[in-house]
Structure 1
Amino acid sequence: MLPVEVGEPTIRRELHNLKMNEECLRVELDLLQEARDKAKIREQACKQMVARRYNSKTKPRAFQEGDLVWRMKGEARRIPAEGKFNANWEGPFKVRENLQNGAYRLEHLDGHEVPRIWNASHLKMYFS
């Protein structure tokens, strides 16, 4: 209450009914779970919409054994003398083994295995 309302009677103080107030609070408590459920449904709908939008722009990359692929060239394997015109991809390489989790073992075309496992995000299909 405002300090002004303490000294003088106001409509809010005169019409205040404790039983009615408690009843209204109980009704609000009953509707609280429904409001939470609506918010949860709205949250799931928003997450689903964002996921659908994101997934529509991603390009899934899956390679089979025997496919020819380009491998992304990292900074450590670039020749500094070539500068910015250096190639970003190297290859082609042959997929030796698909590890079923987005990782692949590669081999050179002459059959020598590439030392480490490569993620699909660092590979792209080689079309000859």
Structure 2
Amino acid sequence: MGETPFMLTYSYEAMVPVEVGSGSLRRDCYTEEDTVVNQMLHLDLLEETRKNSQLRLAAYQQRAARYYNKKVKGHLLKVGDLVLKKVMPNTKNPQHGVFGANWEGPYKIKSNLVEMALSP
């Protein structure tokens, strides 16, 4: 997302423990007035920072979905084809344990619901 969760929550970057214990430019140039002004400025821009972060996240998810969907191959099923049905956890027999079947079937396709829905 480009921003740390701390930045999105508190509108400024956290200090690394090494910076707290030893001297650093960030600590040496600290002034109370500048901090207050900078914090108000960051609070004004915080909402924009969060929106930009959400946009980057949405763009990343779209790229990941596009990459995944390129690899998926569709299969056209016709009436009369044999198919297997995945056994879901709520329908799995608990007595079979880990050695239970993952698939049920084979089942034969009797009708195409899409064609039935489109016909008048």
- Same fold flag (TM > 0.5): no
Larger Rg: 1
Greater helix content: 2
TM-score (norm 2): 0.44
Say which structure is richer in strand: 1
| TM-score relative to the length of structure 1 | 0.41
